[in-house]
Amino acid sequence: MDDIAPTPLVRDAVARLVATVPTDGFGAALLAHIRSATEIANFGAFYVPDLRRPEPVLTVWSGRMSDYWFNRNARTITSHDSLRRDFADRIRRAPSQGLVIDRWHPPEGDPRAPIYARDQVIERVSVASRMGRGGFVSFYLRAVQSGWLSDTDITGLHRVLPLAHELIGLRHRIVGTTPLPARTASDLRLRNLGRFAALTPREAEVCDHAARGLSVAGTALELGISENSVRTLRKRAYRRLGVGSATALTAMILGTPA
């Protein structure tokens, strides 16, 4: 057979999206694909390695929310036993070779309700699937400004989310899971490590902000509390930890085995 001269092929939109899977640009590219169906403010995905002992790990995310707030919200959510079980239950409902999709908004009293209110999220669509002994839950957040999802919006999401979710799983198999940062006071408290175990959640949050170099005023603004409250929480936390400054606090965070 004679040689055939190479002919260039055009990458279509899906091929271009798949090509980003192992790259740092994957999150932004996937969110753009999802937004071709309807406006979604943020998306993310949790990996649960073992359904028998669900410990969800935030693996990929993108959107208007900063990395700091994504990780902070994830730590808050995964600190609740009931919410960890919720991840496992949703994965178990997925067929062995398929996906399950649900639409949800937090009822009053749910631990996620304050997070949704603060971040101006009105509702969430999530997709779950199994993988080995565990699985994935990907979630797609709708902002208050965009209003409730319409039937047309939902139809569009049903079209794009199966591919989005499968690509998230593919990325995990290629590059692994990006774990939550361990070097924060909040994470060390949740892991019951050293003196950080004695902190209250609010004291740990204030320490996180101090270690990032935020002023008392900046911390008060981000946490929505008074500057006097920040000073009181810092003083209590520093006393529990045995440190006298933000510099010493940062050194202690970095020096605590995770």
**134 contact partners, CB below 8 Å, separation of at least 6:** 47, 48, 49, 50, 51, 91
pLDDT digit string, tens, across residues 219-236: 888 788 999 999 999 999
pLDDT digit string, tens, across residues 115-160: 999 999 999 999 999 988 899 999 999 999 999 999 999 999 999 9
Work out the number of other CB atoms within 10 angstroms of the CB of residue 45.
27
Give one DSSP letter per residue of 187-241, joined into a string.
HHHHTT-GGGGGS-HHHHHHHHHHHTT--HHHHHHHHTS-HHHHHHHHHHHHHHH
CA distance 247 to 239: 15
CA distance 82 to 60: 22
Instruction: Give this prediction's pTM.
Output: 0.67
